[in-house]
Amino acid sequence: MSLNAYITDEAIEGSEDGPLAGRTVAVKDNISTEGVRTTCGSKMLEEYVPPYDATVVERLKAAGATIPGKTNMDEFGMGTTTETSYFGATKNPVDEDHVPGGSSGGSAAAVAAGDADLALGTDTGGSIRCPAAFCGVVGIKPTYGLVSRYGLVAYANSLEQIGPIAPTVEEAAELLDVIAGPDENDGTTREEGADTDFASAADGDVDGLTVGVPTELVEGAEDGVVEAFEDALDDLREQGATVEEVSLPSVEYAVAAYYVIAMSEASSNLARFDGVRYGNSGGYDGNWNESFAEARSEGFGDEVKRRILLGTYALSAGYHDKYYKQAQEARAWVKRDFDEAFADVDVLASPTMPILPPELGESLDDPLKMYLADANTTPVNLANLPAISVPAGESEGLPVGLQLVGPAFGEETIINAAAAVED
């Protein structure tokens, strides 16, 4: 089947031995690969070929992995469906009439279709977990600082992380073992978790585990999604876990806070793409302002333009305190709510996505609906916590994902719990 999961099919060979020897790992096209173009799904970077590897790519090659190509994505990571790519939409291998999720849709589709053994995605507000849920595979959004972001083309620096997508929890954990750890090129990385064997945590022993279910993250989900989610909770109970309701009042404001912060950071980060420093040039006719405007108008798609404009507005004089400052205060509130919840429970569980995968084209007509679909994933990024999406069943023949969230650097706990759901 032609899923359009890859933007560039160009193999990158790793070392002859290592923990990933003999396996293919597809890489999302916003992660730098030396000598192989990295487009971010955008016309702006259609011909950009990086002169260096991202740290995670160096680690893949050292571990013996073969990179079969660069995967399709929403332009600059801005989307939930992988339909905003300049290179065309990716299809969901479960049902080609539906989206694979985004923005790492190409990575998830490649793994689900068997076109790659494993894959790397990036997650700014759910961009690993959403496509993992929609395609019926496993995706891990690591704790902020566990995995180096050096070589990642930034969308929103304070929110995003690189993470694994795989057919099983154990395989996702094995890939996380390879890419995790501090990096002198990324000052946000931490020593915590560097010596952890994540793969060994995937034993599925949840006897005595306390699972909290935030009511706010279940109430708005579709009936079929809730049914599959509750079945997965019953499985955890049968294996010895305790399940109890908790409340995260702040998540009501999380989506709004997330988009103000993410779009503001995107407005700043994408300023470099002006046709002079980076990106396709519109030519110079004597007026730099017009030349910049022409380059950005032709190079960026509609969704990227929308987010840059909204982010610039939120940061502008007279509106910074009204929007950006309040969004940061809401972010702190979200973090406090999670901290309080983890004083009583080991992990938090919710549907990964409150909806089933939409049909292709459905979400493009209603951007606000697309933003609201991130309600269960964005709070995790605001709090810089780890989360995993694991298949929890189906509804109407389409996959449903279960999200498990842990405290900072609590990857072992969520991997263990996810393995129990998988079993």
Cα separation, 34 vs 53, in Å, equals 5
* Beta bridge partner(s), residue 118: 25
- pTM confidence score: 0.97
Res 275: pLDDT: 85
Name the catalytic one among 85, 127, 148, 264: 127
Report in angstroms the alpha-carbon separations of 270 from 258, 260, 314, 322, 335.
18, 15, 15, 23, 27
Angle between helices 411-422 and 169-179 (to 10 degrees): 160
Average pLDDT, integer, range 218-229: 97
Closest of 382, 387, 395 to residue 130, by C-alpha: 387
CB of 99 closer than 8 Å to CB of 363: yes
CB of 386 closer than 8 Å to CB of 141: yes
Res 1: pLDDT: 57
Per-residue pLDDT of 190-204, as tens digits, reads: 998 778 899 999 999
Strands 138-141 and 161-166: antiparallel
CB of 315 closer than 8 Å to CB of 324: yes
Token pair belonging to 128:
């690993």
CB proximity list for 271: less than 8 A, separation 6 or greater: none
CB of 353 closer than 8 Å to CB of 130: yes
Mean of per-residue pLDDT scores for the chain: 96
Is the CATH number of domain 6-208+385-422 3.90.1300.10? yes
Average pLDDT, integer, range 119-131: 98
User: What length is written for the chain?
Assistant: 423
* Beta bridge partner(s), residue 393: 400
Q: Is 28 a catalytic residue?
A: yes
288 pLDDT above the threshold of 80: no
Per-residue pLDDT of 304-360, as tens digits, reads: 999 999 999 999 988 899 999 999 999 999 999 999 999 999 999 999 999 999 999
Q: Is 389 a catalytic residue?
A: no
Cα separation, 39 vs 300, in Å, equals 12
Name the catalytic one among 103, 104, 267, 363: 103
Q: Is 322 a catalytic residue?
A: no
Per-residue pLDDT of 387-400, as tens digits, reads: 999 999 999 999 99
Cis amide bond preceding 103, omega within 30: yes
Cα separation, 122 vs 103, in Å, equals 8
CB of 303 closer than 8 Å to CB of 367: yes
Token pair belonging to 114:
């068997």
